[in-house]
Amino acid sequence: MPKILLVEDERSIAENLIYALETEHFEVLHTTTGCSALKVLDDSFQLAILDVGLPDMSGFDLCKAIRKNSGLPLLFLTARDSEVDRILGLELGGDDYVTKPFSPREIAARVRAILRRGSPHNRSKKNQKPTDALYHNEETMTISSHGQALALTAHEYKLLAALMTQPGRIFTREQLLEKAWVDPGSAMDRTVDAHIKSLRAKLRACTPDGSDPIETRRGLGYTLNLD
């Protein structure tokens, strides 16, 4: 039974979400503040739902604290519907962003969708095979596509490895710079674009239909689609 951490201070919203999630066979632990969430958070959780407007800290600040030690999938709940807030939530490492009012059943469906994408917490590396569309051998630091080893530069390898940690999640250019460059400040956004372009060419060369699994999300960043 997947375990969900719900951080929501409005009791009525929390009760409706708990009912909807438990009906879908999720185990839910509910806290009302960011501090209490950080105290109970451990590796037993598969996903966290964070209200942006918490009484002791914002959901964005809570996300930053979680991201220091964990790649746990995160879904934001907020009453604010501005594009800036949505982009900020994604840039901080959120996997989805839902504005109030919303249907509790919709949240349950979004939670299932996030977990299906394959995060570091639920994607079993033991099930990966060298003949898969993408296969990452962390011991040899190599990635293969459909059984063919990819001849990647160090930056291309780090970029693709980062995208493979959470297929379906949108990574901003800033996040990819942090993951693939020793000194992110010395590179620029278009540096990521250039490396992604060459990486796509190498992936297409190994794909039967000439396609590649990297998708551009205009104004946001890049995501890996393995469906």
Could you tell me the sign of the dihedral formed by the alpha carbons of 38, 40, 43, 46, in that order?
negative
Q: Please give the helix or strand (H or E) that residue 205 lies within, else none.
A: helix 189-206
- Say whether pLDDT at 26 is over 70: yes
Predicted model pTM: 0.55
Kindly tell me the burial class for residue 43, based on how many C-beta atoms sit within 10 Å of its own C-beta (0-12, 13-18, 19 or more). exposed
- Say whether pLDDT at 121 is over 60: no
φ, ψ of residue 50 in degrees (nearest 5): -115, 125
Q: What gap in Å lies between CA 199 and CA 204, rounded to an integer?
A: 9
Question: What pLDDT shows up at residue 179?
Answer: 81
- Write down all domains in the chain, each with its CATH number in brackets: 3-117 (3.40.50.2300), 125-224 (1.10.10.10)
- The per-residue pLDDT for range 45-86, each reduced to its tens digit, is 999 999 999 999 999 999 989 888 777 889 999 877 666 666
Most confident of 40-49, 109-118, 185-194: 40-49
Q: Please give the helix or strand (H or E) that residue 28 lies within, else none.
A: strand 27-31
Q: Where does the pLDDT of residue 94 fall: very low under 50, low under 70, confident under 90, or very high at 90 and above?
A: confident
Question: What pLDDT shows up at residue 83?
Answer: 65
